[in-house]
Structure 1
Amino acid sequence: MVHEPFTHEDVLLEGFLALNVPEGFRAELIEGEIIVTPPPDGDHEDYISLLVSQVIRKSRVDMQFSGNKGLKLEKGDGRPEDHAIPDGTFAPTSLRLFRGADSWMPGDGVAMVLEVTPFKRRHDPELELRAYARSGIPLYLLIDRDDASVTLFSEPGKEDYRQHTTVPFGKSVPLPHPFGFDLETAEFL
């Protein structure tokens, strides 16, 4: 039996999948870079809670939410598959997307991912942005605590989102179908 030689990408992916990070930490593999993030602070969780509450109450389509769900995203340019863990993942409830899903599930059917910047940024959020766009995640919502702003990225392309709307905290940002409502950000102030 002839064995194919392992590539650098194979070794990187296997090493990443074997990582055992401390409880509360999360590890991601994006564009060949392993990113380990410590547990979030209370304000970070407050932003997520406020946003999820609005989505559940106002969305035109019933939504499921998962915090910290691992997504296995399409790879690009010969890199190993990206493995990202957004702060929040939304999918139409009718899809039952999370039921029976493995630790790392494909992004197919995800309506929107949410990221809240940590108090002190530890990596470039552009890495995640490109990974989500490449995989066709329709909407990417970034709550930027440093800039006190919310940015909605839409129309995913090969390496980026073609559209984005940024508003300061206190203004609303329209969430398109399947959400169909204006996200109020005054509570983020």
Structure 2
Amino acid sequence: MTVMTDRPHMLTEEFEELAFAARNRMEGLQLEFIDGKLRSRALGDGSHGMIVQWLTRICMQHDPELWLHPGRGLKVQAGRDGRAIPNASLAHSGAFAGHGEWSDPDPVLMAVEVTSWNSDTDRRHHQEKPRVYAESGIPVYLVIDRAKFEVSVHSEPAGQRYECVRTVSYGRDVHLPDPVGITLRTEVLKDWVR
């Protein structure tokens, strides 16, 4: 018996219908479609929300025209047939006006993921997401890892990876390179871990 491992679970259009139905019937469930495989993710807890709120405030203070759009669905991967929902996407305020549920990633300056306590968090945030965001040409990918007490900044997308990755422990400053151009003081993140 032959097992096909490279065959997608479903077509992208079928995934979009399923994701729409799931979101309307099961509050808090978000579905993603990466490498032809269905992925689910639960909504973050209160501390997760505080981290996104903290980062939103910093971005708006840096440039009031830059918004951290939470939960914006993006068409990802080289052929734009994947679907991912970063915790937040940094883009200009009107970047997604008139878009449907899934947007092209071209206006995104930075994708942000804050880790949760799911068993597949490491695989999703440190293996799959950097690859699909780099493939999509998103200039900066920020991971705030609450289990490892680290912040990772990925930049310089080149094909399926980011050429530059900088990881610092909570409490150290980290610079988000252009086109973001913000330095984060991460000491406060220590307040939002378990």
TM-score category by the smaller chain? 0.7 to 0.9
Aligned residue pairs total 176
TM-score by length of 2: 0.84
SS at match of 1:142: strand
Determine what percentage of the aligned residue pairs are the same residue.
32
Does structure 1 retain, via aligned residues, the 8 Å contact 2:170–2:189?
yes
Q: Kindly report structure 1 stretches of 4+ aligned residues shifted beyond 6 Å.
A: none
Counterpart AA for 1:164: V
Q: Name the CA distance, whole Å, in 1 between partners of 2:141 and 2:82.
A: 16
Deviation at 1:181? 2.6
Q: Name the CA distance, whole Å, in 2 between partners of 1:102 and 1:24.
A: 19
Q: Name the CA distance, whole Å, in 2 between partners of 1:183 and 1:131.
A: 24
Deviation at 1:14? 3.1
Deviation at 1:9? 4.4
Highest RCO, 1 vs 2 (Cα 8 Å, sep ≥ 6): 1
- Indicate the larger mover: 18-27 or 166-175: 18-27
Deviation at 1:101? 1.1
TM-score by length of 1: 0.86
Does structure 1 retain, via aligned residues, the 8 Å contact 2:72–2:89?
yes
Does structure 1 retain, via aligned residues, the 8 Å contact 2:9–2:38?
no
Q: Name the CA distance, whole Å, in 1 between partners of 2:116 and 2:76.
A: 22
SS at match of 1:65: strand
Matches within 5 A, 1:66-77: 66-75=69-78
Q: Kindly indicate which of the two structures has a greater share of residues assigned to helix.
A: 2
CA displacement 1:89-120 (0-9 Å, x = unmatched): 01133xx2111111101001210010001023
SS at match of 2:11: helix
Counterpart AA for 2:73: G
Q: Name the CA distance, whole Å, in 1 between partners of 2:9 and 2:33.
A: 12
Stretches of structure 1 lacking an aligned partner (at least 5 in a row)? 1-7
Stretches of structure 2 lacking an aligned partner (at least 5 in a row)? 1-6
Counterpart AA for 1:47: I
Q: Name the CA distance, whole Å, in 2 between partners of 1:121 and 1:181.
A: 31
Q: Name the CA distance, whole Å, in 2 between partners of 1:119 and 1:56.
A: 28
Counterpart AA for 1:89: S
Counterpart AA for 2:116: P
Matches within 5 A, 1:1-189: 9=8, 11-19=10-18, 20-21=21-22, 22-59=26-63, 62-75=65-78, 81-93=81-93, 96-123=94-121, 124=123, 125=125, 126-189=127-190
